[in-house]
Structure 1
Amino acid sequence: MAQINNQVTLIGNAVRTPELKVLGNGTKLAHLTVATNTVFKDKAGVRQERTAFHDVAFFGRSAERVCALVTKGRLVALDAALSYRSLKAIDANGVEFNAKQVQLAGQAFQVLGPRPQGAPTPVEADAGEVEGFEEFDEQVEVAA
């Protein structure tokens, strides 16, 4: 029987530079928002473009790497696991209802293309002391 994976792949631009946060239990967390575009023709045959924004959470070493390598506007490819969270919400009329929130947990990412012109260099030229620094275009996997 073939293995079935819960995996979403997105390619888009980072909406903002992610920031590293440390949770109360010491877990490192980074949220990366990626914008993707869908181009289509409407009923009149006019070309339309729709942008969707996807919030992806990275944890641990992957969170550190995302913060070190991804800046606003960078084109990134990422794999994430999809899950849902149930929550109570209130509509505009004050009526409470049950809602589902989509959650994406980042599993791997890759920065695509050259660094934008004028973007800061992630590591200074004299950073020979830094261990574990690798090229931008590598695949980063989340440790299980």
Structure 2
Amino acid sequence: MAGINKVILVGHLGKDPEVRHLESGASVANFTLATNDYYKDKSGTRVERTEWHNITAWRGLAEVAEKYLKKGHQIYVEGKIRTRQYQDKDNQTRYITEIVADEITMLGGRPHGDGQQNQAVPAEAQTFRQEPEIDQLPF
């Protein structure tokens, strides 16, 4: 049986997406997503813990992110965990773990930060899915 690599997150954008357009014509968007959970400490005080996730969206999803997503918006993301390595400016090997989005759904409600409703997103354009690449299709 093959393994399963699936992540589902609901959270708020920590910043506007940063979108790059590659020479190949592909677009890639990067942004952070905050998820919160709560627990009670030994004294019974409610404590909030925020986890930050690096999200990467490619091609059509990157274009959607660029057009519709803003800091504070609440979204639902489905995707896969990926860890990649790179060389930093001091030639040290660094690793980054990110979520590569397959689907993004913009959720209603008030975004954190700017206090404005998510009015720029048409109702029929709430959920977006990444189309699989030809080499990702099962044959």
TM-score with structure 1 setting the length: 0.73
Q: CA RMSD in A?
A: 2.9
Confirm or deny: 8 A CA contact 1:69 1:136 kept in the other structure: no
TM-score with structure 2 setting the length: 0.75
Residue 42 of structure 1: aligned partner: 41
1:110 to 105, 123, 135: 105
In structure 1, list runs of 5 or more residues that go unmatched: 90-96, 124-133
1:140 to 128, 131, 137: 128
Residue 65 of structure 1: aligned partner: 64
- Residue 53 of structure 2 aligns with an amino acid whose one-letter code is H
- Residue 106 of structure 1 aligns with an amino acid whose one-letter code is A
Query: Following TM superposition, by how much is the alpha carbon of 1:30 offset from its aligned partner in structure 2, in angstroms?
Result: 0.6
**Within 2, Cα distance between the matches of 1:22 and 1:50?**
35
Confirm or deny: 8 A CA contact 2:73 2:118 kept in the other structure: no
Residue 7 of structure 1: aligned partner: 6
Confirm or deny: 8 A CA contact 1:107 1:142 kept in the other structure: yes
Residue 129 of structure 1: aligned partner: none
Helix, strand or coil for the counterpart of 1:62? helix
Is 1:25 aligned to residue 24 of structure 2?
yes
Confirm or deny: 8 A CA contact 1:30 1:58 kept in the other structure: yes
Q: Which has the larger radius of gyration?
A: 1
Give the paired residue count: 129
- Residue 55 of structure 1 aligns with an amino acid whose one-letter code is N
- 31-40 vs 113-122, which moves further: 113-122
Query: Following TM superposition, by how much is the alpha carbon of 1:5 offset from its aligned partner in structure 2, in angstroms?
Result: 2.9
